[in-house]
Amino acid sequence: MTQINFYNLQQDTEQMRKLFACRLTEKALSLGHRVCLFAGSEAIASEIDALLWSFSSTSFIPHSIVAANGTSAEDVSIAVSTLPRDATDVVINLTSDALDNVEGIARVNEIIIQEPEALEQARARYRHYQQAGVKPEMIKL
Protein backbone atom coordinates (compact mmCIF):
# COMPACT_ATOMS: atom_id res chain seq x y z
CA MET A 1 0.00 0.00 0.00
CA THR A 2 1.16 3.52 -0.76
CA GLN A 3 2.52 5.57 2.13
CA ILE A 4 1.46 9.21 1.98
CA ASN A 5 3.27 11.81 4.09
CA PHE A 6 2.15 15.40 4.58
CA TYR A 7 5.10 17.54 5.70
CA ASN A 8 3.68 20.54 7.55
CA LEU A 9 6.18 23.42 7.30
CA GLN A 10 5.96 26.45 9.59
CA GLN A 11 6.95 28.76 6.72
CA ASP A 12 4.40 30.45 4.49
CA THR A 13 6.18 30.92 1.15
CA GLU A 14 6.18 28.82 -1.98
CA GLN A 15 9.96 29.26 -2.20
CA MET A 16 10.42 27.53 1.19
CA ARG A 17 8.18 24.70 -0.03
CA LYS A 18 10.36 24.21 -3.11
CA LEU A 19 13.58 24.34 -1.07
CA PHE A 20 12.17 21.72 1.30
CA ALA A 21 11.29 19.56 -1.72
CA CYS A 22 14.96 19.72 -2.76
CA ARG A 23 16.15 18.73 0.74
CA LEU A 24 13.59 15.91 0.85
CA THR A 25 14.82 14.74 -2.56
CA GLU A 26 18.42 14.78 -1.34
CA LYS A 27 17.47 12.73 1.74
CA ALA A 28 15.48 10.15 -0.27
CA LEU A 29 18.31 9.86 -2.80
CA SER A 30 20.84 9.27 0.02
CA LEU A 31 18.63 6.39 1.21
CA GLY A 32 18.75 4.78 -2.24
CA HIS A 33 15.35 5.85 -3.54
CA ARG A 34 14.39 7.06 -7.00
CA VAL A 35 12.48 10.34 -6.79
CA CYS A 36 10.05 12.03 -9.16
CA LEU A 37 9.11 15.65 -8.44
CA PHE A 38 5.68 16.21 -9.99
CA ALA A 39 5.69 19.90 -10.93
CA GLY A 40 2.39 20.23 -12.79
CA SER A 41 3.60 23.16 -14.91
CA GLU A 42 6.57 24.20 -17.03
CA ALA A 43 7.21 27.20 -14.76
CA ILE A 44 7.47 25.14 -11.57
CA ALA A 45 9.50 22.46 -13.36
CA SER A 46 11.96 25.15 -14.46
CA GLU A 47 12.26 26.53 -10.92
CA ILE A 48 12.82 23.06 -9.43
CA ASP A 49 15.33 22.29 -12.19
CA ALA A 50 17.38 25.36 -11.22
CA LEU A 51 17.04 24.73 -7.47
CA LEU A 52 18.26 21.12 -7.68
CA TRP A 53 21.52 22.46 -9.12
CA SER A 54 21.89 25.34 -6.66
CA PHE A 55 19.93 24.88 -3.39
CA SER A 56 23.02 23.68 -1.52
CA SER A 57 26.38 25.41 -1.50
CA THR A 58 28.16 22.07 -1.09
CA SER A 59 26.31 19.75 -3.48
CA PHE A 60 23.84 19.40 -6.34
CA ILE A 61 21.38 16.75 -7.47
CA PRO A 62 21.73 15.35 -11.01
CA HIS A 63 18.29 15.02 -12.57
CA SER A 64 16.29 15.15 -15.78
CA ILE A 65 13.00 16.61 -16.93
CA VAL A 66 10.80 13.81 -18.23
CA ALA A 67 8.28 14.04 -21.05
CA ALA A 68 4.74 12.80 -20.52
CA ASN A 69 4.70 9.03 -19.97
CA GLY A 70 8.44 8.88 -20.51
CA THR A 71 11.09 7.37 -18.30
CA SER A 72 14.27 8.73 -16.78
CA ALA A 73 17.77 7.30 -16.68
CA GLU A 74 18.47 9.54 -13.66
CA ASP A 75 17.50 8.61 -10.11
CA VAL A 76 15.80 12.01 -9.82
CA SER A 77 13.33 13.29 -12.39
CA ILE A 78 10.96 16.22 -12.77
CA ALA A 79 7.60 15.53 -14.40
CA VAL A 80 5.64 18.42 -15.86
CA SER A 81 2.08 17.31 -16.62
CA THR A 82 1.85 13.54 -16.09
CA LEU A 83 3.84 11.11 -14.01
CA PRO A 84 6.34 9.02 -15.96
CA ARG A 85 5.81 5.26 -16.18
CA ASP A 86 8.74 4.59 -13.86
CA ALA A 87 7.57 6.87 -11.01
CA THR A 88 7.01 3.99 -8.61
CA ASP A 89 9.31 4.73 -5.66
CA VAL A 90 9.01 8.27 -4.23
CA VAL A 91 6.84 11.02 -5.74
CA ILE A 92 6.93 14.56 -4.36
CA ASN A 93 3.71 16.25 -5.42
CA LEU A 94 4.22 19.98 -6.02
CA THR A 95 0.81 20.53 -7.60
CA SER A 96 -2.25 21.88 -5.82
CA ASP A 97 -4.23 18.70 -6.60
CA ALA A 98 -4.00 15.22 -5.12
CA LEU A 99 -2.60 12.48 -7.33
CA ASP A 100 -5.49 10.61 -8.93
CA ASN A 101 -3.96 7.16 -8.84
CA VAL A 102 -1.29 6.29 -6.28
CA GLU A 103 -1.47 2.54 -6.85
CA GLY A 104 1.99 1.23 -7.63
CA ILE A 105 3.78 4.16 -5.98
CA ALA A 106 5.62 3.30 -2.75
CA ARG A 107 5.54 6.79 -1.23
CA VAL A 108 3.89 10.12 -2.01
CA ASN A 109 5.13 13.24 -0.22
CA GLU A 110 3.00 16.37 0.05
CA ILE A 111 4.44 19.62 1.43
CA ILE A 112 2.22 22.11 3.26
CA ILE A 113 3.00 25.80 3.83
CA GLN A 114 1.14 28.13 6.19
CA GLU A 115 -0.68 30.18 3.58
CA PRO A 116 -4.52 30.17 3.58
CA GLU A 117 -5.09 29.01 -0.01
CA ALA A 118 -2.30 26.41 0.21
CA LEU A 119 -3.75 25.08 3.49
CA GLU A 120 -7.19 24.69 1.92
CA GLN A 121 -5.67 22.82 -1.04
CA ALA A 122 -3.73 20.57 1.36
CA ARG A 123 -6.93 19.76 3.27
CA ALA A 124 -8.61 18.79 0.00
CA ARG A 125 -5.66 16.55 -0.95
CA TYR A 126 -5.69 14.93 2.50
CA ARG A 127 -9.45 14.20 2.20
CA HIS A 128 -8.96 12.83 -1.33
CA TYR A 129 -6.39 10.31 -0.14
CA GLN A 130 -8.55 9.32 2.85
CA GLN A 131 -11.53 8.74 0.57
CA ALA A 132 -9.29 6.59 -1.63
CA GLY A 133 -8.68 4.34 1.39
CA VAL A 134 -5.19 5.57 2.26
CA LYS A 135 -4.38 6.97 5.70
CA PRO A 136 -1.95 9.87 5.23
CA GLU A 137 0.61 10.63 7.93
CA MET A 138 1.04 14.23 9.11
CA ILE A 139 4.62 15.24 9.93
CA LYS A 140 5.01 18.62 11.66
CA LEU A 141 8.34 20.35 11.16
Pairwise pLDDT comparison (96 vs 84), residue with the higher score: 96
Q: Is 3-140 in CATH node 3.90.1150.110?
A: no
Buried-state track 84-118, b at ≥16 Cβ within 10 A, e below 16: beebeebbbbbbeebbeebeebebbbbbbbeeeeb
Q: What is the mean pLDDT of residues 113-129?
A: 98
Share of the chain above pLDDT 90, in %: 84
Q: What is the mean pLDDT of residues 77-93?
A: 92
Q: Please report how many Cα atoms fall inside a 13 Å half-sphere around the Cα of residue 35, on the Cβ side.
A: 25
Question: What is the pLDDT at residue 67?
Answer: 72
Buried-state track 121-136, b at ≥16 Cβ within 10 A, e below 16: bbeebbebbeeeebeb
Q: Among the residues of the chain, which ranges form H helices?
A: 14-30, 42-54, 116-131
Q: Name the 3-class secondary structure at 3.
A: strand
- 13-17, 46-50, 100-104: range with lowest mean pLDDT: 100-104
pLDDT above 80 for 58: yes
pLDDT above 90 for 94: yes
CA nearest 110: which of 137, 130, 135, 87?
137
**38 strand-pairing partners:** 79, 93
Whether the CB-CB separation of 10 and 114 falls below 8 Å is answered with yes
Question: What is the pLDDT at residue 68?
Answer: 65
- pTM, two decimal places: 0.95
pLDDT above 90 for 33: yes
Question: What is the pLDDT at residue 87?
Answer: 87
How far apart CA 34 and CA 42 sit, in angstroms, is: 21
Per-residue pLDDT band at 84 (split at 50, 70, 90) = confident
Whether the CB-CB separation of 81 and 40 falls below 8 Å is answered with yes
Question: What is the pLDDT at residue 82?
Answer: 87
